[in-house]
Amino acid sequence: MNFALKLSQMGYRVVILDADFGLANIDVLFGISPRYTLLDVINSNKTIFDILSEGPMNVKFISGGSGIEEMIHLEKWQLNIVIEKIASLDQIADIVVVDTGAGISDNVISFITAADDVILITTPEPTSIMDAYALVKTVSVKDKNKKIHVVINRADNIKEAVSVANKLCLAADKFLGVKLQQLGHVLYDISVVKAVKQQQPFILSYPKALVTRQFSEIAHKLMGETDTTSQTSSGLRGFFRKLTNIINA
């Protein structure tokens, strides 16, 4: 969410798709209750623009949840209609940020495999690092060339963040043949806790906080490495076709 707002500050048109099937929370953190979800596009003949919710700074978001699971069970002709509706977002968005749940469920892995770029967020805690490595290992079986960026979150200091990132990247390269891209780190900042309690993005509530500056550095680095006009990407239409093909394979 805060990352999407930073991209918007940088001049990009951003839409968030909340694809956490069990614990969708973008609307909670924005303090906004969406009227419709992706399920309404499928079952109620709504357009993709009907279900868009307006967040801060012109960032829009879609509650996906069960609607994404429902897509898997559609007939091919029904799926084509839904995908064409979703693809209309390409008219108003430069970047679509897909927020998946944690873990390595089949749904999460499918989203990662279909995405153009993946940002893997882990903390220095051993269990979190092991989960991150397990996710990379699972993805590597399907696509060793998947571009995965790593961010170390809630580190106590820069030395710890760099050490954790280096070890994870070294292990992925040595044992999986996957080269992870170090995107940056976010040190622990009480501003994040305060902002969550206020149901406000910390980028807006605490614009001078350390965490806000670090998010800015990460966003600028990512966009410096990413070509949003690349012809290898076929937009949302291509993403959802690839996603449903992966899930139905």
pLDDT in tens, 156-184: 999 999 999 999 999 999 999 999 999 99
Which pLDDT score is estimated for 235?
A: 77
Residue 166 domain-assigned (yes or no): no
Which pLDDT score is estimated for 231?
A: 43
Token pair listed for 140: 């590597």
The Cα-based distances of 26 to 30, 53, 97, 109 in angstroms read 6, 11, 12, 20
Split into its structural domains, the chain has a count of: 1
Residue 178 domain-assigned (yes or no): no
Residue 92 domain-assigned (yes or no): yes
Residue 159 domain-assigned (yes or no): no
Residue 56 domain-assigned (yes or no): yes
Residues with pLDDT less than 50, the chain: 23, 231-232
Residues 6+ apart with CB under 8 A from 95: 4, 7, 12, 13, 14, 15, 228
Output DSSP code: residue 172: I
d(CA 153, CA 128): 10
**Domain containing residue 214:** 1-101+204-229
Which residues partner with 96 through β-bridges?
15
Which pLDDT score is estimated for 205?
A: 94
Residue 210 domain-assigned (yes or no): yes
d(CA 18, CA 225): 24
Residue 223 domain-assigned (yes or no): yes
Whether the CB-CB separation of 61 and 27 falls below 8 Å is answered with yes
Residue 113 domain-assigned (yes or no): no
CATH number of the domain within which 43 lies: 3.40.50.300
